[in-house]
C-alpha cells in the first residue's frame, strides 16, 4: 500500500500550523489591549486595508498573526464579509469632520489656518536606544494654543470651486443603498466612481505608494500639489428603523486632495480611508489625479492600479506559487520535449538533403 | 474552535431550491422538483437587496419585498416574475444584457403546465441530442417572440413553474414547435 | 419595524461560512454562467478564510452548493492528500458538516485544482474547478477591458495567430496546460490549468462543470452535453501529453496521466497523477476487490 503511506497531508498541515503558533506563544485579551494601545497607526493601517473599523478586532488580528500584515488584513476581511449589512450610514460632508490636522501645500495660509496637528513630520528620526538601557520614554506635555483652531472646516477645494479655479467633478446624486458597494459587486471597467474610491480606500498601503510614487517621479502626466491633507474623526449617522437618526459613534478618517494645472483650471485627485494613513491618501489621490486619459497598461491607468494595489489578492496570488504546480509543469515539459525531438528530426533530414 | 453550524430551515429550503434551478438550467426541458410549490422558494433562494424585480402577480409582492429587493419596471428588472401569462407582450421588454455583459440578461419565471400542451423540441447545451417537452398555458406567439428577442449570447433565461415542478429553457436552447 | 427584523438571530458562523447574501449572489451568477456556457460572469467574490489564489473561487461555489448530505471530494494536482486539498476538504466539512470521500464515484461534488479525475463523471455529479486566471486572452491582451471587447466581438484572431506562431517556431503548439477551448461555438474559455489530457473530458460530458476564479472574480461553466473544442488548425490535430504508454511504478496502472519523478540515476519514474485511481489499482492488484469505474481513457486513448 505504497500510496496510502504517503497520505500525510492532513497531519502535515496541522503540525505546520502548530509550529508557527508555538513559536509565537499564546495570547490573551491583555495582549490584544496592549497591541491596540501601543500601535495605533498600525491598527489604523490594518483597519483601512480591511475596510473594517474596529480597533479591538484589528488588534486581535495582529496578535493572532504575529503581525503578519497580509494575514491580519485577510482575517479581518474574511470576518467582515460574513457580517450582515444592517444600515447604510449618511454621507459625510467635509465640513462635518472633527479635524485634528489639516494642512495645505498649495497656499501659505488657508481659511481656518494650517492646523499641523499630530505628526512626526518635523521630528528628528533618532532611535531612542536609551530606552533599551532602562530609561523611560515620557513625551513632553502638549501646551495648548491660546486660540484653539476651528474643529470644522470645508475642504480647500471648496474655496477653489467658489473661485472658479477648479475643474468640478460631475456631482453624483446617488444615496444610501444605491451607492455601489465594491464588497458586494465586482469591479468592472470603466470603474464606477464609488468603486474607484472604495478600492483605493482599502488598497494595500505599500502598493499604492509604489505606483503613486512612480506617477510622482514622472511616469504620470500630472504633478501633484497637496491641496489638502486632513486627519479627522467622522460622525457615523444612521437611521433607526423607526425613522430617528442617531450617531453610531466616530471613526478616524484621513483624506487627501491633490491638484494639478489642467488647462485654465485645476484638476483634482481625491482619496480617503478609514484610519489615519497619510502616505496612502496622498499616493492614492495622486493616482486618482493621473488616471483620466492615462494610457492603457500604464501604472496610472485605473484598471492597472486598482487591480495591482489590492493587497489581499496580490499577496494571496504571490504566495500561491508555493503550491505544487507539477501537473502544469509536466504538461509544459511534454510540449518542450516533443518540440525538441521535432527539431532534431528536422535537422537530421535537412542534413541529408542535397545542397542546391 | 467554533462548532460546525447546522443549516436553518430557510437555508435548507434555499439550498434545495437552487439545486433544482441549477440542475434544471443545466438540463433544459427536463423537470426537477422545487422544495415546495410555487415561486416562493425561488424568490428566497435568489433575491435580496441587490436585485431589481418585476412581478406581474401581486400575490408574490410581499414575499419579494421581504427579501429587500427593489421593485422595478420590467425593462429594468434582473428578475422577472410573469405569473400565468395571457399575452406575450411582456417578453418584448425584458432586458437581454449586452455583448460585453450577457449575464445582465434577466432571469424570467413563468407559470405553465408541464407535460401538457404544445410539444416542443429542444436542442443546445445541456441536452443529449434533443429533448421533447410539452409546455401548456403559454400565450400565442410566446416562442416566436422569444426567438426574435434573443441575440446569443444576449438574451434571457426562462424557468417554467408548475406546482413544485420546474423546467428551464436558457437562452442557449433552440426551441422548435411542432 | 425594529432592528431585529433587519437581521437574524446571532450565530457564530453561518452554515457553510458564507452568509445568505453571498450565497444568493453566487447562485444568481452560477445560473448566468450555465445559461451562457464558457462566458466569464463577474461576481463579487467575498473573502473567505483562505488566501486568494488558494482555491477561494472554487471554495465559494462549493460552499454555496453543499448541504449536510453532499459528499465532497477535494483534489489538488490529482491527489486527495495534497496539503491544500486536505486543507480545503477539512474546511468544507468543518463549516458545512459534509461527509467527505476520496472515491471519485462516491462524490456528489468534486472540487479540483489542475486535474479532472480519470473515472467518467456522472450526470448527478458536479465538478468545481479552481481557476487562477479566467482570461484565455491574457497572454495576448493583459488589459481586461480590451479582452472583454474581444470576447464581445468573438474576435479571437490574435489567439489563432499566437498558436500559428508557435507552430512556425517550434513545429507544434507549445501551450501546456490551460489549453484555450471554444465553448458552444461562441466563447473561448480557459479550462483552468488542467493538462491537455483532461480537456476532452469536458466535451459533451454528462456532468456539470463550474469554473471559478476567486481572486479575479469571474465564474463560468460548462453544462453537460456542451461542445468544448480546443483551438486547433485542421491540419495540426490536438495533441494530449504523450502519457498513454507510461506505466505507474507504484500501481502498475498504464494509460493515464502521470507524474514524472526524477531518479538519482538521471532517469525518470512515473506514478499515476489521479492518486485515488492509483489506490484503486493497487487494491485490485492485491486482491482487495474491484472498485474502479469506467474511465475516459482506455488503453491510453480517449474513448469516443
Calculate the CA dihedral of residues B109, B111, B115, B116 and round it to 10 degrees: -140
Mutation choice for A interface testing from B1, B2, B5, B50 by most A CBs within 10 A: B50
CA C127 to chain centre: 7
CA-CA distances (angstroms) from residue C175 to C25, C38, C116, C179, C240?
34, 19, 18, 6, 11
Average pLDDT over residues A116-128: 94
A68 and A208 inside one domain: no
The residues pairing with B114 across neighbouring beta strands, listed in sequence order, are: B135
Per-residue cell: A40: 495605533
Residues A165 and A179: their CA atoms lie apart, in Å, by 28
Helix-helix angle A278-290:A193-201, to 10 degrees = 150
Query: Average pLDDT of A240-264?
Result: 93
A68 & A102 share domain: no
- B107-122 residue pLDDT tens: 999 999 999 999 999 9
| B91-103 pLDDT per residue, tens | 999 999 999 999 9
Which triple of cell numbers denotes residue B121?
Answer: 423540441
Same domain assignment for residues A40 and A116: no
Judge contact between A302 and A77, C-beta under 8 A: no
* Chain A adjacent subunits, 3+ CB pairs under 8 A: B, C
CA trace torsion C160, A318, C27, C155 (10° rounding): -20
Q: Residue A185's closest chain C neighbor by CA? A: C44
Mean pLDDT computed over A165-181: 87
How many angstroms separate the CA atoms of C176 and A329, rounded? 8
**Strand (E) positions, A44-179?**
98-103
Residue-wise pLDDT for A200-236, tens only, equals: 999 999 999 999 999 999 999 898 999 999 999 999 9
Task: Average the pLDDT over each of A38-42, A49-53, A61-65, A348-352 and give the range with the smallest value.
Answer: A348-352
Q: d(Cα C69, Cα C73) in Å, to the nearest integer?
A: 13
Residues in A closer than 8 angstroms to B49, CB to CB, are 177
Contact B105, B88 (CB under 8 A): no
**d(C-alpha A156, C-alpha B68), whole Å:** 39
Chains that touch B (3 or more CB pairs under 8 A): A, C
Among A32, A54, A80, the domain-final residue is A80
Q: Does C57 touch chain B (CB under 8 A)?
A: no
The answer for A40, left when phi > 0, alpha when psi is -120 to 50, beta otherwise, is alpha
| pLDDT the model gives residue A3 | 42
Decide if A269 contacts A215 (C-beta within 8 A): no
Cell of B60: 408574490
The shortest C-alpha distance from B57 to chain C (Å) reads 21
Contacts of C212 in chain B (CB under 8 A): none
A340 found inside a domain: no
pLDDT score recorded for residue A172: 83
Is A264 inside a domain boundary? yes
Taking CB atoms and an 8 Å cutoff, what residues of chain A touch C46? 81-82, 183
Q: What does the pLDDT average to over A102-111?
A: 94
- d(C-alpha C109, C-alpha C132), whole Å: 20
* Residue recorded with cell 494595500: A204
Cell of A354: 542535397
**Torsion, Cα of A32, A37, A42, A48 (10° steps):** 80
Q: What is the pTM of this model?
A: 0.92
How does DSSP classify residue A59?
H
Please give the Cα distance from C239 to C274 (Å, whole number): 20
Residues A72 and A160 in one domain: no
Asked if residue A156 and residue A73 are part of one domain, the reply reads no
Are the Cβ atoms of A185 and B50 closer than 8 angstroms? yes
The pLDDT value recorded for residue A6 is 43
With an 8 Å Cβ cutoff, is A246 touching chain C? no
Average pLDDT across chain A, whole number: 91
Give the pLDDT confidence score for residue A197 in this predicted structure.
97
Residues of B in contact with A185 (CB under 8 A): 50
Buried residues in C55-65 as b, exposed as e (16+ CB within 10 A) = bbbbbbbbbbb
Domains recognised in chain C with CATH numbers: 20-133+199-230 (3.40.50.11310), 241-295 (no CATH)
Domain check: are A49 and A167 in the same one?
no
Q: For chain A, give percent helix, strand, coil, nearest 5.
A: 45, 15, 40
C273-288: average pLDDT: 96
Place A351 in a pLDDT band, splitting at 50, 70 and 90: low
Q: A267, A271, A289, A285: which is closest to A165 by C-alpha?
A: A267
- Helices (H) and strands (E) counted in chain B, each on its own, are 4, 10
* Chain B residues close to A188, C-beta within 8 Å: 101
Residue A355: pLDDT over 50:
no
Q: How many CB atoms lie within 10 A of CB B73?
A: 9
Q: Do A185 and B49 touch (CB under 8 A)?
A: no
Under DSSP, the state recorded for B2 is P
Same domain as A98, residue A26: no
Lowest mean pLDDT among A81-90, A228-237, C18-27, C127-136: A81-90
Q: Is residue A342 part of a domain?
A: no
Residue B19's closest chain C neighbor by CA?
A: C65
Give CA–CA dist C109/C58, Å, rounded. 11
Query: Is beta strand A245-262 parallel, antiparallel or unpaired with respect to B32-33?
Result: unpaired
Question: What residue of B is the nearest CA neighbor of C38?
Answer: B153
Across C72-89, average pLDDT? 94
Place of cell 410566446: B142
Which of the four pLDDT bands, split at 50, 70 and 90, describes residue A14?
A: confident
User: Collapsing DSSP states into helix, strand and coil, what is residue A259?
Assistant: strand
> Which residues in C lie closer than 8 A to residue A1 (C-beta atoms)?
282, 286
Distance from CA of C31 to the nearest CA of B (A): 6
- CB contact under 8 Å between C278 and A297, yes or no, is no
Question: Across the A/C interface, how many CB contacts are shorter than 8 Å?
Answer: 193
- DSSP secondary structure code for residue A352 in this structure: H
- pLDDT at residue A356 is higher than 60: no
Q: How confident is the model at residue A1 (pLDDT cuts 50, 70, 90)?
A: very low
Q: Going by DSSP bridges, is the β-strand pair B32-33/A265-274 parallel, antiparallel, or unpaired?
A: unpaired
pLDDT band at C4 (very low <50, low <70, confident <90, very high): low
Its domain, for residue A248, covers 94-120+147-315
CA torsion through residues C204, C205, C210, C216, sign: negative
Residues A297 and A152 in one domain: yes
Residues 6+ apart with CB under 8 A from A85: A184, C21
Give C 114-143 residues with CB within 8 A of chain B: 123
Whether chain C has a CB inside 8 Å of the CB on A75: the answer is yes
Cross-chain residue pair C15–B100, CB shorter than 8 Å: no
| Inter-chain residue contact B48 with C24, CB threshold 8 Å | yes
Q: A4: pLDDT confidence band, cut at 50, 70 and 90?
A: very low
Which pLDDT tens digit goes with each residue over A283-330? 999 999 999 999 998 999 999 999 999 999 999 999 999 999 999 999
For residue A86, is it within any domain? no
Out of C1, C172, C260, closest to residue A335 by CB: C172
* Number of domains forming the structure of chain A: 2
**Domains, chain B, with CATH or none:** 9-177 (3.40.50.11310)
How far apart CA A221 and CA A233 sit, in angstroms, is: 33
User: Does the beta-carbon distance from C47 to A328 stay under 8 Å?
Assistant: no
Tell me which residue of C25, C65, C62 sits closest to C41, measured CA to CA: C25
Residues A63 and A116 placed together within one structural domain of the fold: no
d(CA A255, CA A201): 10
Of B25, B78, B100, the CB nearest to C34: B25
Q: Which residue has the cell 474607484?
A: A196
Q: Are A236 and A252 in contact (CB under 8 A)?
A: no
SS3 labels along B121-157 = EEECCCCCCCEEEEEECCCCCHHHHHHHHCECCECCE
Residue C160 pLDDT exceeds 70: yes
Residue A327 is nearest to which of C6, C145, C177, comparing CB atoms? C177
Chain B within 8 Å of C217 (Cβ-Cβ)?
no
Task: Read off the pLDDT band of A82 (50, 70, 90).
Answer: confident
Give yes or no: residues A67 and A113 share one domain.
Answer: no
The alpha-carbon gap from C298 to the nearest alpha carbon of chain A, in Å, equals 20
Q: Give CA–CA dist A314/A17, Å, rounded.
A: 22
pLDDT tens digits along C166-211: 999 999 999 999 999 999 999 999 999 999 999 999 999 999 999 9
Chain C residues closer than 8 Å to A13 by CB: 83, 86-87
Residue A89 falls inside a structural domain: no
Same domain as A273, residue A160: yes
Across the interface, of C15, C27, C225, the residue whose CB is closest to B46 is C27
Q: Which residue has the cell 485579551?
A: A29
Most C CBs within 10 A among A12, A323, A350, hence the mutation to make, goes to A323
Short-list A298, B68, A174, A180, CA closest to C5: B68
Chains in contact with C via at least 3 Cβ–Cβ pairs below 8 Å: A, B
Q: Are residues A58 and A163 in the same domain?
A: no
Question: Dihedral of the CA atoms B55, B57, B63, B65 (nearest 10)?
Answer: 40
The answer to whether B153 contacts C39, with C-beta atoms less than 8 Å apart, is: yes
Amino acid at each position: 500500500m505504497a500510496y496510502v503511506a504517503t497520505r500525510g497531508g492532513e497531519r502535515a498541515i496541522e503540525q505546520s500550523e502548530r509550529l508557527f503558533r508555538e513559536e509565537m506563544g499564546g495570547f490573551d485579551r491583555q495582549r490584544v489591549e496592549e497591541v491596540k494601545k501601543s500601535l495605533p497607526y498600525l491598527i489604523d493601517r490594518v483597519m483601512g486595508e480591511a475596510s473594517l473599523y474596529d480597533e479591538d478586532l484589528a488588534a486581535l488580528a495582529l496578535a493572532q498573526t504575529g503581525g503578519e500584515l497580509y494575514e491580519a488584513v485577510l482575517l479581518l476581511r474574511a470576518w467582515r464579509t460574513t457580517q450582515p449589512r444592517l444600515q447604510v450610514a449618511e454621507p459625510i460632508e467635509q465640513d462635518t469632520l472633527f479635524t485634528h490636522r489639516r494642512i495645505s501645500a498649495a497656499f501659505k495660509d488657508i481659511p481656518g489656518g494650517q492646523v499641523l496637528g499630530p505628526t512626526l513630520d518635523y521630528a528628528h528620526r533618532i532611535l531612542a536606544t536609551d530606552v533599551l538601557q532602562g530609561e523611560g520614554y515620557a513625551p513632553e506635555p502638549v501646551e495648548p494654543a491660546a486660540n484653539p483652531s476651528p474643529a470644522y472646516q470645508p475642504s480647500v477645494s471648496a474655496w477653489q470651486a467658489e473661485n472658479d479655479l477648479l475643474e468640478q467633478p460631475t456631482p453624483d446624486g446617488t444615496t444610501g443603498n444605491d451607492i455601489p458597494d465594491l464588497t458586494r459587486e465586482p469591479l468592472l471597467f470603466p470603474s464606477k466612481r464609488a468603486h474607484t474610491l472604495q478600492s483605493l480606500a482599502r488598497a494595500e498601503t505599500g502598493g499604492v505608494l509604489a505606483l503613486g510614487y512612480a506617477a510622482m517621479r514622472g511616469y504620470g502626466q500630472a504633478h501633484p500639489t497637496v491641496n489638502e491633507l486632513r486627519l479627522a474623526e467622522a460622525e457615523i449617522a444612521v437611521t433607526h428603523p423607526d425613522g430617528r437618526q442617531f450617531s453610531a459613534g466616530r471613526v478616524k478618517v484621513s483624506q487627501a486632495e491633490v491638484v494639478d494645472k489642467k488647462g485654465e483650471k485645476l484638476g483634482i485627485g481625491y482619496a480617503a480611508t478609514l484610519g489615519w494613513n497619510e502616505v496612502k491618501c496622498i499616493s492614492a489621490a495622486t493616482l486618482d489625479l493621473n488616471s483620466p486619459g492615462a494610457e492603457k497598461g500604464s501604472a496610472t491607468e485605473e484598471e492597472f492600479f486598482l487591480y495591482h494595489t489590492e493587497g489581499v489578492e496580490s499577496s494571496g496570488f504571490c504566495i500561491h506559487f508555493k503550491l505544487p504546480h507539477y501537473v502544469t509543469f509536466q504538461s509544459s515539459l511534454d510540449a518542450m520535449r516533443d518540440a525538441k525531438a521535432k527539431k532534431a528530426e528536422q535537422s537530421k533530414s535537412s542534413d541529408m538533403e542535397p545542397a542546391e | 474552535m467554533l462548532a460546525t453550524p447546522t443549516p436553518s430551515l430557510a437555508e435548507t429550503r434555499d439550498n434545495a431550491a437552487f439545486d433544482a434551478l441549477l440542475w434544471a438550467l443545466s438540463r433544459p426541458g427536463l423537470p426537477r422538483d422545487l422544495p415546495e410549490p410555487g415561486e416562493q422558494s425561488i424568490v428566497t433562494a435568489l433575491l435580496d437587496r441587490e436585485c431589481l424585480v418585476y412581478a406581474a402577480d401581486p400575490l408574490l409582492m410581499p414575499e419579494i419585498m421581504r427579501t429587500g429587493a427593489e421593485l422595478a419596471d420590467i425593462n429594468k428588472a434582473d428578475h422577472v416574475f410573469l405569473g400565468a401569462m395571457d399575452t406575450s407582450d411582456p417578453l418584448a421588454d425584458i432586458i437581454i444584457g449586452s455583448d460585453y455583459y450577457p449575464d445582465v440578461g434577466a432571469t424570467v419565471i413563468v407559470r405553465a403546465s408541464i407535460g401538457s400542451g404544445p410539444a416542443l423540441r429542444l436542442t443546445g447545451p445541456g441536452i443529449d441530442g434533443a429533448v421533447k417537452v410539452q409546455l401548456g398555458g403559454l400565450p400565442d406567439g410566446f416562442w416566436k417572440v422569444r426567438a426574435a428577442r434573443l441575440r446569443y449570447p444576449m438574451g434571457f433565461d426562462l424557468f417554467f413553474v408548475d406546482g413544485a415542478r420546474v423546467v428551464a429553457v436558457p437562452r442557449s436552447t433552440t426551441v422548435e414547435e411542432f | 419595524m425594529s432592528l431585529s427584523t433587519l437581521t437574524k438571530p446571532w450565530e457564530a458562523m453561518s452554515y457553510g461560512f458564507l452568509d445568505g447574501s453571498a450565497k444568493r449572489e453566487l447562485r444568481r451568477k452560477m445560473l448566468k454562467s450555465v445559461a451562457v456556457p464558457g462566458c466569464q460572469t463577474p461576481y463579487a467574490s467575498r473573502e473567505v478564510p483562505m488566501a486568494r489564489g488558494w482555491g477561494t473561487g472554487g471554495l465559494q461555489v462549493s460552499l454555496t452548493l453543499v448541504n449536510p448530505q453532499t459528499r465532497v471530494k477535494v483534489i489538488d494536482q490529482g491527489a486527495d492528500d495534497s496539503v491544500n486539498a486536505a486543507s480545503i476538504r477539512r474546511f468544507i466539512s468543518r463549516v458545512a458538516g459534509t461527509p467527505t470521500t476520496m472515491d471519485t464515484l462516491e462524490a456528489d461534488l468534486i472540487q479540483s485544482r489542475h486535474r479532472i479525475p480519470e473515472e467518467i463523471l456522472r450526470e448527478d455529479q458536479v465538478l468545481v474547478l479552481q481557476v487562477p486566471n479566467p482570461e484565455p486572452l491574457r497572454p495576448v491582451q493583459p488589459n481586461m477591458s480590451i479582452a472583454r471587447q474581444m470576447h464581445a466581438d468573438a474576435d479571437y484572431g490574435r489567439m489563432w495567430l499566437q498558436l500559428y506562431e508557435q507552430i512556425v517556431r517550434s513545429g507544434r503548439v507549445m501551450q501546456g496546460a490551460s489549453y484555450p477551448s471554444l465553448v458552444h461555438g461562441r466563447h473561448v474559455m480557459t479550462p483552468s490549468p488542467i493538462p491537455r489530457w483532461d480537456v476532452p473530458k469536458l466535451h459533451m460530458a454528462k456532468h456539470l462543470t463550474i469554473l471559478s476564479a476567486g481572486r479575479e472574480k469571474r465564474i463560468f461553466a460548462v453544462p453537460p452535453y456542451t461542445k468544448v473544442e480546443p483551438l486547433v488548425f485542421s491540419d495540426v490535430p490536438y495533441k494530449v501529453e504523450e502519457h498513454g504508454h507510461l506505466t505507474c511504478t507504484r500501481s502498475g496502472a498504464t494509460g493515464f496521466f502521470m507524474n514524472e519523478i526524477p531518479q538519482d540515476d538521471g532517469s525518470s519514474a512515473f506514478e499515476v497523477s489521479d492518486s485515488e485511481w492509483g489506490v484503486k489499482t493497487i487494491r485490485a492488484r492485491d486482491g482487495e476487490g474491484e472498485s474502479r469505474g469506467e474511465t475516459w481513457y482506455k488503453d491510453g486513448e480517449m474513448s469516443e
